[in-house]
A and B are shown apart, each in its own frame.
Chain A
Amino acid sequence: MTADARPLSAATGHRRRGKARRRWHSLHPYVFVAPSLFGVFAFLLLPVLIVFGLSLFDWELLSDPVFVGLDNYVAMAADGTVWSSLGVTVLYVLLCIPLQTVLALALAMLVNQKLRGIKFFRALFVIPWIATPMVLGLVWSWIFDPRDGAINRFLEVFGVTGPAWLSETSLALPAVALVSVWQNTGYNMLFFLAGLQGIPQELHDASSVDGATPRQRFFRVTLPLLNPTMFFVMVTNMIGAFQAFDTIYSMTAGGPSESTTVFNYKIFHTAFREFDFGYAATLSILLFLIILLVTMAQIRFFSKRTTYDLS
C-alpha cells in the first residue's frame, strides 16, 4: 500500500497540473484580450452609455443633476448657434477634404515617377504630418499675423497690404482649413502612392496600346483602380475633419464672432467653459450621428462603384 502511495499521489499531482494547464489553455485567449477589452468597455463603451444618460439631465457640475427628459434635445433643435456651428463645420470639411485629397493624389503621381532624389522629396512632403497640431495652430497664427506675419510681410514687398486674416469672419475659416490641408496632404500622399504602386504596369501598357490618351488612362484605369485607397483616405479624413479642435483652439478660439466655431469646439466650450454638461452631451450625440451618417453614406457610395481585385 505504502509502496503504491507515491506513484499514486504523483499521478494525481500530474493530473491536477494537467487540469490547470488545460484550463489555462482554454482561458488564455480571454486573459490576453482582457486588459484591452476592459479599456474598450470602461473608456469607450461606458462613456457612450453615460453620454446618452447625461443628455437627459440638466447638470452644471456644482449643483445636483436634474432630470429634464428630452428638454436638451428640444432646446438643441431651437438653438440657432447649434445650426450655425454645424454650418461652419460643414464648410470647414468642404474647404479641407477636396483640396487635401486632390493635392495628395497629384503629389502621389508626381513622386511616383523615377527621378533622382525622389525619396528625399517624398519624405519632405510627409514632414508636416508629425507636427503637433496645437503648436501648428500657434505657428500659423504667427504666419497669418496681420502686422509682422510672413504672408503680409511678403505681400508688403509688392506694395500690397494684406488683411487681418484671422480677424475677418470671411477669411478666418479658410485660413484654419489651410492648416489642415498643409498638415494632411503629405500623409495622404503616402496612401495614394501605395495604391499607385499596386497597379500593375501591364494595365497601363495595355491601355496605351489600345490608344488611350493619358487623360483617358487616368480616368478610366488609374482612378477606378484607386477606389479602395480613395475610400480609406476619404473616410478617415472626413472623420478627422468633423472633429477638428486643436488648431482652432490655438488659432482663433472659435472667433471672430463664432465664424470658426466648429462643432467639436462648441461641444468643448459648452462643457468645459460653460459647464453645461447635459447640453454638451446632447450636442456630442448629434455630432456622433452626423459622423455615422456621413461615414455610412461614403460606404454606400464607394461600394456601388466597382472595385477590382488585383491580386
Chain B
Amino acid sequence: MKRFLLYAVLVIGAFVSVFPYLLVVLTAFKDRAQLHTTAPWLPGDPMTTANLEKLLGGDFPTFILNTLLMTLALTAGQLVFTTFAAYAFARLRFRGREVLFWLFVATMMVPVAVTVIPLFLIMRQLDLINTWGGLLVPYILGTPYGIFLMRQFFRGLPAGLEEAARIDGAGPLTILLRVLLPLCKPALGTLAIITVISSWNSFMWPLIITSGDETKVITVALAALKVGIGVDYTAIMSGGLIALVPMVVIFIFFQRYIVRSVVLTGLK
C-alpha cells in the first residue's frame, strides 16, 4: 500500500515535469482553429506540419544557425580559458594566487543586471553593437563559475602527478595537456554541458546587443512573436519546439554530467 502511494506521487510529479513539454509538441502540430476546437492536451485532428514548414521556410534557419554558432563559440572559449586558469589556481604556486582566486569567486556575486548596462556602453564605444563581437566577447573568456568548478576538480586529482612528469622532462604545457587533461574528461564534459545549456538558453544579453537578423538568436526571435493582440501560439510553440528539442536530446544523453555538476559545485 505504501509502495503504491509512493509510485502514485512519483507518477504525478513526473507528469507535472513533462506536461509543458508535451504541450509544446501537441500545439506545434495544430492549426490556429484547432487551438480552440481540440483540447490542449489532445493532438490536433489532423496534425499539421504547416507551422514548422512556414517557420523553417523563413528566416528561422538563420536564427538556429546563429544560436548554434554562439553556443559553440562560448563553450569552446569556456573550456579552453577556464581549464588554463583553473589549473593554475588549483595546482601551481604563484604570488597573488589566493587573492586573485577570491576575486574571481567574489565576482560570482555581481548580478547580471549590474554588468549589462556598462557592457552595452562599452560595446557601443567599441562599435560592436549588433555584431558577433558584441554578442560573444564579454562571455567567451570563461566564467568565474566555470573556474570554480574546474578548480575543485583539479584539486581532487592525486598530488605528485606533475612531479613525475617533470622528472621526465615535461614542461608546464605538456604536463597540463598530456598528463592532467586526460584525467579531466568527466569535469570537462560537465562544464561543456552546463555551458551549452546556458548559452543556448541565454536571452537578456542577445536581446540587448542584437537587433538585426544577422546575429539574432532563437530566444530573441521568439520574443518578437509574442507582441500585440492575437498571439499565434501554434507558431510560437513550433519555435519553442525547435529551441527545446536540442536541450532535451542533450539531457537524455548527458544527464550524468548534469548530476555531476551538483557533486562538483556542492560543498565538499
What residues of chain A have their CB less than 8 Å away from a CB belonging to chain B? 21, 24-25, 28-30, 32-33, 35-40, 42-48, 50-51, 54, 107, 110-111, 113, 115, 118, 121, 123-136, 138-143, 145, 147-150, 153-154, 182, 186-187, 190-191, 194-195, 228-229, 232, 239, 242-243, 245-246, 249-250, 263-264, 267-268, 271-272, 277, 280-281, 284-285, 287-288, 291-292, 295
Contacts and interface: CB of A to CB of B under 8 A. Distances in A.
Interface in B224-268: 226, 231, 233, 236-237, 239-240, 243-244, 247-248, 250-251, 255, 258-259, 262-263, 265-267
B110 A271 contact: no
B175 to A, nearest CB: 10
Given A39-B142, A130-B251, A291-B109, A44 B115 contact: yes
Contact of A40 (B9, B35, B103): B103
B14 A125 contact: yes
A132 B114 contact: no
Contacts of A148: 35-36, 40
Contacts of A191: 262, 266
Contacts of A124: 13-14, 17-18
B173 to A, nearest CB: 8
Contacts of B7: 115
Nearest to B201: A132
Interface string B194-235: 000100110110011000000000110011001000010100
B124 to A, nearest CB: 8
B266 A232 contact: yes
Given A107-B13, A288-B114, A32 B92 contact: yes
Contacts, number: 266
A138 B222 contact: yes
Contacts of A242: 111
6 contacts: A30-B88, A36-B104, A47-B119, A130-B248, A228-B267, A232-B266
B111 A288 contact: yes
Contacts of A51: 114-115, 117-118
Interface in B58-75: none
Nearest to B9: A110
A132 B117 contact: no
A128 B113 contact: no
A142 B237 contact: yes
A31 to B, nearest CB: 8
A38 B137 CA distance: 11
Nearest 8 interchain pairs by C-beta: A39-B141, A47-B118, A50-B118, A36-B85, A29-B94, A32-B88, A32-B84, A150-B40
Nearest to A246: B203
A246 B118 contact: no
Given A21-B171, A47-B118, A138-B226, 10 more contacts: A38-B141, A44-B110, A126-B258, A127-B248, A131-B21, A135-B240, A143-B40, A153-B40, A229-B266, A243-B112
B252 to A, nearest CB: 8
Contact of B115 (A30, A43, A153, A245): A43
B226 A139 contact: no
A20 B152 CA distance: 31
Interface of B: 3, 6-7, 9-10, 13-14, 16-21, 23-24, 27, 35-36, 39-41, 81-82, 84-85, 87-89, 92-94, 97, 100, 103-104, 107, 109-122, 137-142, 144, 147, 171-173, 176, 197, 200-201, 203-204, 207-208, 218-219, 222-223, 226, 231, 233, 236-237, 239-240, 243-244, 247-248, 250-251, 255, 258-259, 262-263, 265-267
A229 B267 CA distance: 7
B139 to A, nearest CB: 8
A27 to B, nearest CB: 9
Contact of A143 (B20, B109, B117, B219): B20
Contact of A47 (B17, B114, B226, B250): B114
Given A35-B81, A124-B14, A125-B17, A131 B247 contact: yes
Contacts of B121: 50, 54, 277
Contacts of A131: 20-21, 201, 244, 247
B92 A139 contact: no
B266 A267 contact: no
A191 to B, nearest CB: 5
Contacts of B39: 153
A69 to B, nearest CB: 19
Contacts of A135: 219, 222, 239-240, 243-244
A127 B251 contact: yes
Contacts of B16: 182
A54 B142 CA distance: 26
A142 B24 CA distance: 9
B172 A28 contact: yes
A110 B24 CA distance: 28
Contacts of A268: 113, 116, 204, 208
Contacts of B40: 142-143, 148-150, 153
B119 A43 contact: yes
Contacts of A287: 111, 113-114
Nearest to B34: A148
